[in-house]
Structure 1
């Protein structure tokens, strides 16, 4: 029975994250298609997107969010234009600084990026 309890405990956050993704995008995660990164050209950050500052959880402190942020919650350092207000500053968490936009992650739209990052969050839950 312990295995069933562990599966249930993991399923609840996954269901919550899926619900957040559907609410944020209007699309289900099953609509995301995988894009091969091996053939992807260099990809620039999409202006006005901000998906990487919303979809994933961040466990390290962020200025204004000392306990990090849960998945699906907008980072307090994301501007109204969906740009990082602490980009390039030492206060920016290393997990953010280490994240680079790619065609695989960003897809062809903000919705693609939100869905892909939400699925990554689900796939990497403990």
Structure 2
């Protein structure tokens, strides 16, 4: 599965514990990444500044569902049950 352009759920729902440009302490779950543009595109996609956890993320139906809303719900729930 390819990521749905403009979804952004993986840049909002999970916590990220490694530095992100503009967020030196990472980001808490449910907080929008500062590198997520207004149209929900990663502004550092393909850059060496992008955290490894972000580069290693692979979209799948189990995690992303079939809509952006499902992706936000599913990733939020995964974050909740794994913390």
1:53 aligned onto 2:42: no
- Residue 47 (structure 1) shift: 1.5
- Residue 108 (structure 1) shift: 1.0
CA distance in 2, matches of 1:45, 1:93: 17
1:100 aligned onto 2:58: yes
CA distance in 1, matches of 2:65, 2:79: 16
Q: Which runs of 5+ in 2 are unaligned?
A: none
CA distance in 2, matches of 1:78, 1:93: 13
- Residue 103 (structure 1) shift: 1.2
Question: Of the two, which has the highest radius of gyration?
Answer: 1
Match of 2:44 among 70, 75, 86: 86
Detail structure 1 runs of 4+ shifted over 4 Å in the superposition: none
TM-score, L = length of structure 2: 0.97
1:69 aligned onto 2:24: no
Q: Which runs of 5+ in 1 are unaligned?
A: 1-42
